[in-house]
Amino acid sequence: MMEAANRGAKEGGATSVGCNIELPFEQESNDFIDVSIDFRYFFVRKTMFVKYAEAFVIFPGGFGTMDELFESLTLIQTHKVRHFPLVLFGSDYWGGLLDWLRDTMVDEGKITREDLDMIFVTNDPVAARDHIVAGYKTRMAALSGS
């Protein structure tokens, strides 16, 4: 999945950066990376993601994916980082988790219904792109004082 992001960055004329975690079972970096940064610890890698990313598009994954998702949501919710678009791709995969967030965490008052607005779920790449572009435009307008 990350190869597609790196390929898109490179084809678009941007610098393509790969943030790799050192694990015995992880894949090697791909051929579309201009700058490769290897991390030993997940928390350092997550810091780099959150600091430099304009958006997160999260695809189905395991514990590491969930860790990155919930860390991002927590940092946005508590205003430790600026709000950025967070897209969950694959509604079938994420549906059960979103039901639990709404039916358990919201109902018990652990999070608010508005907190769920941080999450955009789609199966459509164009909708994901449009959501990210809208978030970027909102951020640029705020920075310019418009």
Q: Which CATH class is domain 55-144?
A: alpha beta
Starting at the edge strand found earlier in the chain, the sheet holding 86-89 runs: 56-58, 86-89, 119-122
Map residue 27 onto helix, strand or coil.
Answer: coil
Q: What is the Cα–Cα distance from 141 to 129, expressed in whole angstroms?
A: 18
pLDDT of 9 above 90: no
pLDDT tens-digit profile of 15-72? Answer: 888 888 888 776 677 888 888 888 888 889 888 888 888 899 999 999 989 999 999 9
Domains of the chain, by residue range, sit at 1-40, 55-144
pLDDT computed for residue 106 by the predictor: 98
pTM: 0.84
pLDDT tens-digit profile of 74-133? Answer: 999 999 999 999 999 999 999 999 999 999 999 999 999 999 999 999 999 999 999 999
SS (H, E, C) 50-78: HHHCCCEEECCCCHHHHHHHHHHHHHHHC
pLDDT of 146 above 70: no
Q: What is the Cα–Cα distance from 89 to 58, expressed in whole angstroms?
A: 6
